[in-house]
Amino acid sequence: MSYDLYFKPRNGSFTEEHFHAYFRDRPNYKCEGLQAWYENEDTGVYFVFELQAEQQTTEDDDECKDFPVALNINYFRPSYFIFEAEPEVTAFVKHFDLLVSDPQMEGMGDGAYKAEKLLSGWTHGNEFGYASILRDEKNRNGISHLPTAQLHDAWRWNFSRAQVQARVGDSKFVPRIMFFNLGGSTITSAVWPDGIPIVVTRVNYLCIPRKELAPTKFFRKKEDITFVSWGEAFAILIKHGTQNRDGSISLNYMSPPSDVVKFVQSLPTESRSSSGVPADCVLDREIYERSVV
């Protein structure tokens, strides 16, 4: 299930050269044949623009006819997908002065592009996708979900993560927010390897790979990964860090102080099961709950 939007120039033609020249130099795009795939590794958001081949535009295909470019954005995705896609679509339309054909319910129809209609049309279709899939109880097995506000906070942090990393340079690591199933619960997490200097925002748990600070067993270090809740870690973080205006904490040391070392080393070996969950598979809890009633 997906949202499909079609584009054509208001005047003139649109060629394969136009298509590739525009997308090949834009961040997060990869051109493959007649497709330009957007995929942001930090946020997990993806969608695709596709140049319609001539054989696809037949008299029986009113949706594609005379509209040489199509956009496809999947449904049954976190609600923030469209907030990342909309500026990309808007920039594309403005650059080439495009008209659109939008066959979706609650869409914009044919004619001028309206960014607010893209937002509302995809959101409507996405919620319909949740309801369609989740009405079957078998499809609810293994579904991960978190509150919408928490998902949006994670997306905003991840979307700006590269800019923060560029600003602080190599002196500190800026981890993205990841999602895990920890002991049967979906959580947000950020990695803090061996207590190194990082800039980190609030998450449910810090994921701490221990190598240099690995626990010793039978006189040998045994590398592992453990999790510590934000509440347990906050005191040591704020003691050695500065809280920024956005609530994130920047640790102010070059190498871990002795009490940080002791804190990391003192953490118990993780006994709970843990596995990563792709960002696109963590759904909005509020939409999920409305869909399973």
Residuewise pLDDT in 10s, the chain (293 residues): 899 999 999 998 889 999 999 999 899 999 999 999 999 999 999 999 999 876 344 444 455 568 999 999 999 999 999 999 999 999 999 999 999 999 987 788 899 999 999 999 999 999 999 999 999 999 999 899 999 999 999 999 999 999 999 999 999 999 999 999 999 999 999 999 999 999 999 999 999 999 999 988 777 888 999 999 999 999 999 999 999 999 999 999 999 999 999 999 999 999 999 999 999 999 999 999 999 98
Residue in this structure with the two tokens 């978190």, named with its chain if needed: 146
Q: Which residues of 244-257 are buried (b: 16+ CB within 10 A; e: fewer)?
A: eeeebbbbeeeebb
Domain boundaries, the chain: 2-134, 145-277
Q: What is the pLDDT of residue 216?
A: 82
Q: Residue 197 and residue 216: Cα distance in Å, rounded?
A: 23
CB 189 within 8 A of CB 204: yes
Closest to 200 (Cα-Cα) out of 172, 232, 169, 171: 172
Distances (CA, A) of 241 to 120, 172, 189, 251, 292: 41, 12, 19, 4, 43
Q: Residue 113 and residue 66: Cα distance in Å, rounded?
A: 16
Q: What is the pLDDT of residue 211?
A: 95
Q: Residue 89 and residue 85: Cα distance in Å, rounded?
A: 6
pTM, full prediction = 0.92
109 torsion bin: left (phi>0), alpha (psi -120 to 50), beta (else): left
Q: What is the pLDDT of residue 202?
A: 97
Q: What is the pLDDT of residue 221?
A: 85
Q: What is the pLDDT of residue 65?
A: 60
